Structure formats: structure tokens, C-alpha cells
Amino acid sequence: MTAEGEPTLSTEPTGVMDDATALRLLKEGQIEVAGRLVEATNMTLYCNIRYGELRAACVYKPVRGERPLWDFPDGTLAAREVAAFEVSAVTGWRIVPPTVYRDGPFGPGMCQLWIDADEQVDLMALIRSRHPALRRMAVFDAVVNNADRKGGHLLPMPEGHVYGVDHGVCFSAEDKLRTVLWQWRGKRLSREAVNMLVNLDRELEHGRLGRRLRELLTLAEVEAVWQRVRRLVDTGVHPYPSEDWPAIPWPPI
């Protein structure tokens, strides 16, 4: 049990390629497009990827397939997805599947390991729950300023781990947090979350993460990440919804 009486949840999902191997495959492998996910707003391609004996399925989102948005600069969504993975990797919570920025059949874009989620899980019941993995994700979303955390962006695994995907509209310098995960608004952050945030603060200031984010985002956006982390540490609580921005994305699933 945790200090707050919640069941301990492993951050190591089973049945998934380890991150180092997956990143090597995603960076170096040959991509073969197998189909398109037609429900996605932007061009999202389901692909097979192979590198020597390594092979897996992946999602490839080329920059040229991104639709312009009024509140995010054109051609930046793929880099934001990669930035979300970089933050996730430092948290140690493995929220975002391995993700890289690379060239592909339709030009540069993001390439992410495909995750076979447990389709037996009721997503509506999951997003209303107080699952420890979702509490971690709520903290992560507050850090990256996720403007679109829908239930359909949750990928629950059979052993209890929950991945999050579709992070193209994160990291705005303006507060835009929209999510279906408001169960902990105003609640004290767990000790685990505070420790993670303190480490994230350190990595943003002195570590590789700060340098990497400056390669993927604007300086103002990186500074805003740092400010959000420090605000969370200072307040010690999960944020409340903004009164100036819709709290829940539509549709919620």
C-alpha cells in the first residue's frame, strides 16, 4: 500500500518490448505502412517496423498530415508527442509508449510503439475510477498541460498498467488543461508524485530533459513546463479546472 492507502501499482507493464529496444527499433527500423486509423483527426498510419530480428507494430504520424489548429503552431504536433514521451521517461511512470521523431514514407514525423490495449476494459468505468495509474496520469497531464485527455486516449493493459497516447496538443505556454481525470482536483499530491516532481524540476534545470525539450519546443513553452512543475510542488495539490477554459474535452471519449 502507498502512504495514502492506495494499492501499489507497478510502472513496469508486462508483455511489452522494453523501452531501450523499442527506441532502437523505432529509430532505425524500416517502416511499412499497413493501413490508416480513419477515426483520427490527423493522418495516423498503422505500420509494421523491422530492424534485423526486431519487429513490431507502430503508429506513424507524418508532419505533412497534421491539420492546422488555431491555438498551436502548424507542423509542431509530432515534436510535442515526442516531448511528452521524454517527460514520461523521466517520471519513471511509463505513461507514454516509446516515441521518436524520424523520417518515414511520407516525410518527417513521430513514430510510436503500438500498444495492444485490453479491449475488455470499460473505458467509461475506468475514467470514473480512482485507479492509481490514472492519478499518476493526472499529474503528468498537469505538467505537460494536456489540452485533450479523452477516455479514448487511455490504453489499459491486462495487468493494470495504463498507457496514455495522443499528446500532440500539449505544452502550450498558456494554461489549457482539459481532461476527463478531475477526480483528484484539490487533493493532496501523493508522496510519490511530489518526489517525482522534485526530480523533474532538477532534470529540467540541470539534466538532459531540459536540453531535449528545448530541441522540441519553444523556450517559452519549456519555461512554462518548469513553472507548472514548481507550482505543483509549491501548492502540493492537484490543480483545479480553469474558469477560463473548458475543463473537459469534447467528445470525452
Look-up of cell digits 495516423? 44
In a domain, 52, yes or no: yes
**Could you tell me whether strands 99-102 and 45-51 are parallel, antiparallel, or unpaired per DSSP bridges?**
unpaired
Give the mean pLDDT of 29-51. 94
Mean pLDDT of the chain: 93
Above pLDDT 70, what percent of the chain?
94
In a domain, 112, yes or no: yes
In a domain, 162, yes or no: yes
Give the mean pLDDT of 63-88. 96
Torsion sign across C-alpha atoms 154, 65, 56, 209:
negative
DSSP E strands, the chain: 30-36, 45-51, 54-62, 99-102, 109-113, 154-156, 162-164
Distances (CA, A) of 164 to 157, 169, 195: 11, 13, 21
What does the pLDDT read at residue 12? 55
1: pLDDT strictly greater than 70: no
Give the lowest-confidence range in 11-15, 61-65, 67-71, 157-161.
11-15
Give the mean pLDDT of 174-183. 96
Helix boundaries (H) for 75-148: 77-91, 123-128, 132-144
Does the predicted TM-score (pTM) go above 0.95? no
In a domain, 116, yes or no: yes
What does the pLDDT read at residue 11? 53
Tens digit of each residue's pLDDT (9 = 90 or more) over 193-213: 999 999 999 999 999 999 999
**What confidence tier does 129 reach under pLDDT thresholds 50, 70, 90?**
very high
Give the mean pLDDT of 65-78. 95
In a domain, 143, yes or no: yes
- Over the range 123-152, which residues count as b (16 or more CB within 10 Å of their CB) and which as e? beebbeeebbbbbbbbbbbbbbbbbbbbbb
7: pLDDT strictly greater than 90: no
In a domain, 130, yes or no: yes
User: Could you give the number of structural domains in the chain?
Assistant: 1
State the CB neighbour count (10 A cutoff) for residue 229.
23
Give the mean pLDDT of 39-64. 95
Say if CB 222 and CB 85 are below 8 A apart.
no
The domain of 69 spans 19-235
Q: To 5 degrees, how large is the angle CA 43–CA 145–CA 203?
A: 105
Tens digit of each residue's pLDDT (9 = 90 or more) over 79-106: 999 999 999 999 999 999 999 999 999 9
Cα first-last separation, the chain: 31
In a domain, 252, yes or no: no
